[in-house]
């Protein structure tokens, strides 16, 4: 992924407790503040979503977009890419789960290209903010706080 941002957080849970939370798209509106609605459009033979439509409202940034997912067989990573969006021209992302004893380091990598031009510095700052919020919300959801 060219020109991407990466951020990590340590979650007090094993990967097998974290990946099901990442994969439970219908529950996202319950814990991911900016996600107002999700719809699984296509499911793979393994039961994981292959395509998901999101309705996002993050203040000044609102969008309805569809992502295609690729789940690693080992359950330690998932990648996605934009299929279509209103405000985005491209989005590539990845969650990578690295066990650290009883805990797990969750690394989020994200690259977004908006349909409207945005200076690279501001785009990276927005990506970092999105990742920071997403990781903190994921940690809170998994740890039950």
Q: What is the mean pLDDT of residues 107-117?
A: 86
Q: pLDDT at position 1, please?
A: 41
Q: Could you say which DSSP state residue 72 is in?
A: -
Stated pTM of the model: 0.88
122 Cβ contact list (under 8 Å, min separation 6): none
119: confidence class by pLDDT, cuts 50, 70, 90: low
Q: pLDDT at position 17, please?
A: 96
Asked if residues 110 and 131 have their Cβ atoms less than 8 Å apart, the reply is yes
Q: What is the mean pLDDT of residues 102-106?
A: 96
Q: Is the pLDDT of residue 39 over 90?
A: yes
Q: pLDDT at position 121, please?
A: 65
Distance CA 104, CA 87 (A): 33
Nearest Cα neighbor of 80 from 111, 104, 57 is 111
The ranges assigned to domains in the chain are 5-143
The CATH code belonging to domain 5-143 is 3.30.530.20
Asked if residues 111 and 90 have their Cβ atoms less than 8 Å apart, the reply is yes
């Amino acid at each position: 992924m060219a020109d991407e941002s990466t951020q990590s957080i340590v979650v007090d849970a094993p990967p097998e407790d974290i990946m099901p939370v990442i994969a439970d798209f219908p529950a996202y509106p319950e814990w991911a503040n900016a996600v107002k609605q999700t719809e699984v459009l296509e499911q793979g033979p393994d039961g994981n979503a292959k395509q998901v439509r999101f309705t996002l409202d993050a203040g000044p940034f609102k969008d309805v977009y569809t992502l295609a997912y690729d789940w690693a067989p080992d359950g330690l990573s998932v990648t996605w890419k934009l299929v279509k969006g209103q405000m985005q021209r491209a989005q590539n992302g990845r969650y990578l789960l690295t066990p650290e004893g009883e805990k797990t380091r969750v690394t989020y990598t994200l690259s977004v290209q908006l349909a409207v031009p945005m200076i690279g510095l501001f785009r990276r700052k927005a990506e970092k903010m999105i990742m920071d919020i997403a990781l903190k919300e994921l940690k809170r959801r998994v740890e039950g706080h």
